[in-house]
Amino acid sequence: MELFWEILISALLVIGGFFGLVGSFGLVKLPDPMTRLHAPTKAATLGVGAVLIASMIWFGVFKDDLTLHELMITIFLFLTAPISAHFIAKANIFKDWPSDKLPRPHGEGEWAVHQADADTSAEELEEAEEARKG
Amino acid sequence: MITYALIFAISCFSVALLFNLYRVVHAPGVTDRVLALDTMAINAIGLLVLFGIWEGTAIFFEASILYAMTGFVATVAYAKFLLRGDIIE
């Protein structure tokens, strides 16, 4: 039975290390910023997820100390990875894609990334100007 | 067998950290730099957990969860700064 757990833990560790490496290699290799965003956010969470599950099983089997607190990190990473990826993508659109290079959004208005400036009313701009002066 | 798998995984994550460091130094755009720093934090979590298995102690768990939290907040703060020129408006 111990052999089975050893094989399982080793397989998870190898999978985790491989995917962590592939994620970071994609960061260096892929051609443009949006595809570079794809590699680490997917592969690194899968890699770290496999390593965390391996750690959980290892402490449960060989230390007789089964705690599920590694799952906390896994769930935290799974929840936060899409949010940070979304923010980086937004920053990238804001930096590299002016609104005349983008296709028009459905309906009236502007893409939300470029909307931020258009939404600021004249009064707010004046207030900001005064705050900066005085 | 676990020892060999551990050594393999630790070397994989170390090489991944070097790739990220290269991307931080030679980045084509500033968003790539933020992305590389975010990936660095994630790989550091992986290394800390692996080192915890290597040493047989659960004491590195707290360090890795701190890394997870501060890494996420730092990435969002960087992206917010790029978007608005300000973090807390």
Which sequence spans correspond to the domains of chain A? Answer: 2-96, 103-134
User: B23: domain range?
Assistant: 2-84
Report the distance separating Cα A107 and Cα A2, nearest Å: 62
The pLDDT of residue A113: 76
- B88 in A contact zone (CB under 8 Å): no
Q: Would you call A36 and B9 a contact, using CB atoms and an 8 Å cutoff?
A: no
- Kindly state the tokens that stand for A21: 């490496």
Q: What is the pLDDT of residue A125?
A: 63
Q: Which of B8, B19, B45 is closest, CB to CB, to A17?
A: B8
State the pLDDT confidence band at B49, using cuts at 50, 70 and 90. very high
Sequence length of chain A is 134
Residue A128 pLDDT: 67
Tell me the per-residue pLDDT of A10-24, one tens digit each, with 9 for 90 and over: 999 999 999 999 999
pTM exceeding 0.90: no
* Count of the separate structural domains present in chain B: 1
Q: Choose the closest CB to B56 out of A11, A63, A87.
A: A63
Q: What is the pLDDT of residue A116?
A: 57
B80 interfacial to chain A (CB closer than 8 Å): yes
**Is residue B7 situated within a structural domain?**
yes
Q: What CATH number is attached to the domain comprising B54?
A: 1.10.287
Q: How far is B12 from chain A (nearest CA, A)?
A: 5
Decide if B89 is inside a domain. no
CB A22 within 8 A of CB A43: yes
Listed as ranges, residues in chain A with pLDDT below 50 are: none
pLDDT value at residue A122: 62
Residue with tokens 């899968």: A46
Q: Could A59 and B58 be called an inter-chain contact, meaning their C-beta atoms sit closer than 8 Å?
A: yes
In this predicted structure, what is the pLDDT of residue A13?
A: 93
